[in-house]
Amino acid sequence: MSKIAFHLPLNSTSLGQVSLNILRELFLKKQDIVLFPIGGIDLSTQKQDIDFLNWIQNAINIAPKVHNRKTPIFKLWHLNGSLESYSDKQVLLSFYELDSPTETEVNITKNNSLLLLSSNYAVSIFNNIGCDNVKFLPLAFDSNHFKQLTDLPKKEGIHFGLFGKLEPQRKRHLKVLQNWIKKYGNKSGYFLNCAIFNHFLDPKIQTQIIAQALEGKQYWNINFLNYIPSNEAYNSLLNNTDIVLAMSGGEGWGLPEFQSVALGKHCLGLNAHAYKDWMNEENAVLIKPNSKIPAYDNIFFQQGAPFNQGNIFDWNDQEFLDGLEKVEQKFINNPINEAGLKLQTQFTYSKMVGQILETMNSI
């Protein structure tokens, strides 16, 4: 019997983190697999479990010796680059953030046996244009690296968090910054930690983008963090956050925001796209989107390109400011988001991998 085949990135990106959590669960389930890495291997963010790492290396070593193209393969990657495959039957887990699939994206979708997306909103977009081989697969809480810390030093004030790689348009980071400043800029007792460093973007350009958003002014209560090198350090950051701001205009899931809420942090979030698959009125203060706007920023999203075309959700400034007051009051009433903690057991990698194995066995 052929071994189950996987084609995954093994690195520090969000795709790599999901891939490694899938592999760790397969390792715990004692699954016999072959593995084809996508790109270079970087496991520096992970716990250094020698048995797990040896298992990965063995799966990589035997792959070219025993794999057969008739064996289905599970791939995790962008649509761009997923026409290529080690199998005639490929199941692709990908992430789609906009609303207008291009001819190229549709062709890639139809050339996969199955496309799994972690957003019901995105699934509906593809289904509505005739791509019936697109299904929903939720992501999961990374319990291997993210845990509530009880020995944190006492801190003053309320600490907000803004996470995810900086993008000038899609994630609405700049709009969040400008509005948070209206409410709390240089105001005693309020702090904003921004882990939005994007290693795909020149640091000088990032500095310029942020400076423009801040109109050249300095704010002592806003802290911009550089690249965070490990999940352990990221866990510490999330644990030191009280309220996460999840206002992206388009997400495939929103991992940093999701992990934060699952750790019991309060959330001010946009009631749209993949956020709706894990965010609700119990675990977040929700803001309704008020319109759609083009996603193009001439860096990551370029109009007329064969990929990533369409629109993102936008929101009203005053509703965001009102939401800040509501979520602040929720935090004051109870510093722990009890409803958020339920996400840890609702979305697990054991469940996710179980769905993956069931899918692969049915192809």
Q: Taking 90 as the threshold, does the pLDDT of residue 154 lie above it?
A: no
Do residues 273 and 183 both lie within one domain?
A: yes
Closest among 239, 225, 209, 193 to 336, alpha carbons compared: 239
The two beta strands, 285-287 and 266-270, are: parallel
- Asked if residue 152 belongs to a domain, the reply is no
Do residues 339 and 357 both lie within one domain?
A: no
Question: Would you state the pLDDT for residue 128?
Answer: 98
> Which residues form the domain of 105?
4-140+348-362
Residues 334-349: what's their mean pLDDT?
A: 98
- Asked if residue 103 belongs to a domain, the reply is yes
Among 42-46, 92-96, 174-178, 326-330, which stretch is predicted with the lowest mean pLDDT? 42-46
The b-or-e profile of 227-246 (16+ CB within 10 A means b, else e) is: ebeebeebbebbbbbbbbbb
Q: Is 357 exposed, middle or buried (0-12, 13-18, 19+ CB in 10 A)?
A: middle
- Asked if residue 30 belongs to a domain, the reply is yes
Q: Taking 90 as the threshold, does the pLDDT of residue 166 lie above it?
A: yes
- Residue 1 confidence class, pLDDT cut points 50, 70, 90: very low
Percentage of residues in the chain with pLDDT exceeding 90?
92
Determine the residue type at 51.
D
Do residues 83 and 172 both lie within one domain?
A: no
- Asked if residue 185 belongs to a domain, the reply is yes
| Residue pointed to by tokens 């983190």 | 17
Percentage of residues in the chain with pLDDT exceeding 70?
99
- Residue 155 confidence class, pLDDT cut points 50, 70, 90: confident
Q: DSSP secondary-structure letter at 275?
A: G
Residue 255 Cα to chain centre, angstroms:
3
Do residues 36 and 165 both lie within one domain?
A: no
Helix locations, 67-171, DSSP H: 103-110, 120-127
> Collapsing DSSP states into helix, strand and coil, what is residue 20?
helix
The tokens describing 68, both together, are: 């057969």
For residue 88, what is the domain's CATH number? 3.40.50.2000
Determine the residue type at 339.
A
Do residues 66 and 195 both lie within one domain?
A: no
Domain count, the chain: 2
Do residues 73 and 84 both lie within one domain?
A: yes
Residues 19-34: what's their mean pLDDT?
A: 96
Closest among 226, 152, 187 to 324, alpha carbons compared: 187
Do residues 222 and 88 both lie within one domain?
A: no
Do residues 119 and 251 both lie within one domain?
A: no
Question: Would you state the pLDDT for residue 258?
Answer: 98
- Residue 232 confidence class, pLDDT cut points 50, 70, 90: very high
- Asked if residue 65 belongs to a domain, the reply is yes
Determine the residue type at 114.
L
For 94, what's the count of Cα atoms within 13 Å in the CB-facing half-sphere?
24
- Asked if residue 74 belongs to a domain, the reply is yes
pLDDT, one tens digit per residue, over 270-287 is 999 999 999 999 999 999
- Asked if residue 134 belongs to a domain, the reply is yes
Determine the residue type at 13.
T
Do residues 110 and 186 both lie within one domain?
A: no
Do residues 192 and 303 both lie within one domain?
A: yes
Higher confidence at residue 83 or residue 45?
83
- Residue 2 confidence class, pLDDT cut points 50, 70, 90: low
The tokens describing 218, both together, are: 């300095």
Do residues 352 and 342 both lie within one domain?
A: no
For 292, what's the count of Cα atoms within 13 Å in the CB-facing half-sphere?
12
pLDDT, one tens digit per residue, over 179-201 is 999 999 999 999 999 999 998 89
DSSP structure string for 45-74: TS---HHHHHHHHHHHHHHHHH--TTS-EE
- Asked if residue 146 belongs to a domain, the reply is no
**Mean of per-residue pLDDT scores for the chain:** 96
Do residues 276 and 167 both lie within one domain?
A: yes
The rounded distance, in Å, linking the Cα atoms of 136 and 116 is 6
| Residue pointed to by tokens 């702090």 | 191
Determine the residue type at 177.
L
Question: Would you state the pLDDT for residue 153?
Answer: 80
